[in-house]
């Protein structure tokens, strides 16, 4: 413990790299039309492919398992928002939001794929039900593919 106390914050959590807030706000603005204000009170860290959103610019000086919420993953193709980030921030979105009816919501929660008519750009979109965000879906060629994390899915029941 004494050794750990003397370590600097940077060497403790060297795998979390602080990244520019504007960079994140721009990505979310261009995909979902969110105002930059939505990100104002948070700082962003990259660890491997994931971007983490944390309340403070300084990480506390401990060996961290997590730092706030994983909000998106950076990959070769388009970046992917997490369902949990959309549930928290999705209410600020002004585009690429799809409102599902009861059947659609049921299929989304079951982790299904279904045809849909909606004004959406190809790629990741925000699925909502009765004005509340359910989570992330992939829109491709007129079909919506649920991206709900597997541990949250429920088999199709009424």
Partner 1 sequence: MDHLDRYRRIIPDYPLFCEAMIQPLPVCVRINSLKTSADDLMSRLDKARLSYRRLGWYRWGLRLNGIRPGLLIEHLMGHIHPQEESSMIPPLVLDPQPGEKVLDLCASPGSKTTQIAQMMENDGILVANDPSPGRIVALRANCERLGAANVAVTRYDGRAFPRYEFDRILVDAPCSGEGMARKDLTVLKRCNLKRSMGLQRLQQALLGRAVDLTRQGGVIVYSTCTYAPEENEAVVESVLDRVRLIDVDIPGLARSRGLDAWDGNIFGELMGRCARYYPHHNDTGGFFVAKLIKR
Q: In the block, which residue shows the tokens 């599902």?
A: 100
DSSP 8-state symbol, 76: S
Gap between the Cα atoms of 124 and 137, Å rounded: 6
For partner 1, the closer of residues 5 and 119 by Cβ is 5
Binding region for partner 1 (CB under 8 A) out of 28-36, 68-76, 93-101, 116-124 = 68-76
Q: Considering only CA atoms, which of 106, 111, 101, 102 is closest in space to residue 137?
A: 111
Binding mask 44-63 for partner 1 (x = CB under 8 A): ---------xxxx--xxxxx
Burial of 107 (0-12, 13-18, 19+ CB in 10 A): middle
For partner 1, the closer of residues 21 and 70 by Cβ is 70
Residues that bind partner 1 (CB under 8 A): 1, 4-5, 41-42, 53-56, 59-70, 82, 84, 87-88, 105, 109, 129-130, 132-134, 148, 151-152, 154
């Amino acid at each position: 413990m004494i050794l750990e106390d003397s370590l600097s914050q940077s060497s403790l959590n060297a795998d979390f790299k602080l990244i520019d807030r504007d960079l994140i706000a721009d990505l979310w603005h261009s995909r979902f039309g969110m105002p930059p204000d939505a990100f104002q009170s948070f700082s962003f860290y990259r660890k491997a492919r994931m971007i983490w959103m944390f309340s403070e610019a300084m990480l506390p000086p401990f060996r961290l398992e997590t730092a706030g919420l994983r909000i998106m993953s950076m990959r070769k193709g388009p970046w992917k928002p997490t369902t949990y980030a959309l549930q928290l921030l999705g209410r600020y979105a002004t585009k690429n939001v799809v409102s599902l009816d009861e059947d659609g919501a049921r299929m989304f929660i079951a982790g299904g794929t279904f045809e849909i008519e909606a004004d959406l750009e190809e790629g990741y979109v925000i699925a909502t039900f009765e004005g509340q965000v359910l989570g992330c879906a992939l829109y491709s060629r007129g079909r919506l593919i649920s991206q709900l994390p597997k541990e949250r899915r429920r088999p199709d029941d009424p």
